[in-house]
Structures are given as structure tokens and as C-alpha cells.
Amino acid sequence: MTEVLRALGSFFAYAVIAVFAQNAVFTRSLGVSRLVKLSEDDEVGSLVFGALLCAVQIISAMMGFFVNRWLFASAFWIYLRPLVMVLCSAAAFFVVLLVVVICFRVHGAREIVAVLPMATFNTCILGTLLLSTIQNFTFTQTLGFALGSGVGYVMAVALVRGAQERLQSEAVPATFRGLPITLLYIGILALAIYGFTGHMLAF
């Protein structure tokens, strides 16, 4: 029972750290280009995107954990790691695609499947995989960090989307409207989190 509670505590601790103190966007600048695109695209639902991102993140993290343990002894593992992480995310893509098609049928799954590549192939997924394998997290830490990174990324999307109306205000100079003011807004949020966490990254 003590081991189970310790594992749950580790899971939630790493999830909370990944959401706030080590946010993928505001602390590590992972997936910023995709975030800017999502913030301007009203056709992509935040909940659908978030659910798909978290699902892919967790499945690919599990695969990456076991592959890392299996190939760690290889002398060439450090050179193969990025390619293997891409393959893990691609495998997670097909797993989630299969589940979505089975659950929603072909016609109902079209809108979800259209969002799935955006939720899979971005630096948030790959960056989280590389960080968890490089730092040799335990299985529960890997799952917690993956879930927290996904939730943190979705939170960042929601924050930027929520500010779009003000960012497009007439009070903003014409030369700054669009991408420049969005990047400035993300940078200010990143500075706020930097002030909260300090300059030392835990991992």
C-alpha cells in the first residue's frame, strides 16, 4: 500500500510540475509555432485537440519508456534516440487513430482525425519524450510528466486563445498585430512563469 501511495504521489507531483513550473510552452518553448496556429484557427476545438494531445502524449511516453530501457545498453542509443522517439509518436498516432475510428465510426471520426496530426507531430510530444528518457524517469514519473505536459500545452493554447480578442484590438499598433503581438504575449507569460520558478530547471 505504501508503494502504491508513493507511486501516485510521484505521478501527481510530476504532472503538476509539468503543468505549471515546467510548462512545455512557457518554460521550454516547445510547440510554440503550432500553438500560434491553433490560437488563430477557430475550427479546431480546444477540447478535442487537448484530448488527442494527452492521449498521444501518454501512449508515446509509455512506448518511449520501455524502448529506452530495452535499447539503453546499445552503444549507438544516443544517436538513435531522436529517431526512435519519432517512431514512438508515430506508433501512438496509429493507436489513437484506430481507437477513434472504432469508437466514432468512419463518418463521425472525420473531424477528430483531421486534428490528430496536429496533436501528434509537434515538438511538445517529441520534447517531452526526449526529456523523460534523458532524465531516466521512472514509469510513474514518465506518465505524470507526459500527462502534465499535455495538460500544460492545452492550458497555454487556452490562455493565448482567450487573449486573441484583446490582441486584435485597435489599440495595438498595426505593425504589431497578428503574429508579433501573439509572440510578445507568450513571452510575457513565459517571463511571469520564469519569475515564479526561478532560472534553475529541475530537469
The 10 Å CB-count burial string (b at 16+, else e) for 54-86 is: bbbbbbbbbbbbebbeeeeeeeeeeeebeebbe
pLDDT tens per residue, range 132-168: 988 889 999 999 999 999 999 999 998 998 888 888 8
Asked if 52 and 125 touch (Cβ cutoff 8 Å), the reply is no
Q: Which amino acid is at 143?
A: L
Which grid cell sits at 117? 496530426
Position 42 pLDDT exceeds 80: no
Please state, as a whole number, how many other Cβ atoms lie within 10 Å of the Cβ of residue 35: 24
What average pLDDT does range 79-94 have in this prediction?
92
pLDDT score at 45: 78
pLDDT bin (cut points 50, 70, 90) of residue 185 is: very high
Nearest CA to 40 out of 178, 181, 180, 183 is that of 178
What average pLDDT does range 37-55 have in this prediction?
84
pLDDT bin (cut points 50, 70, 90) of residue 75 is: confident
**Could you tell me which residue, 145 or 200, shows the higher pLDDT?**
145
Q: How many helices (H) and strands (E) does the chain have?
A: 9, 0
Residue 145 CA to residue 4 CA, distance in Å, equals 18
Task: Classify 97 as helix, strand or coil.
Answer: helix
pLDDT bin (cut points 50, 70, 90) of residue 15 is: very high
Residue 153 CA to residue 36 CA, distance in Å, equals 12
pLDDT score at 152: 93
* Most confidently modeled range among 98-102, 108-112, 192-196: 98-102
Strand ranges (DSSP E) for 9-138? Answer: none
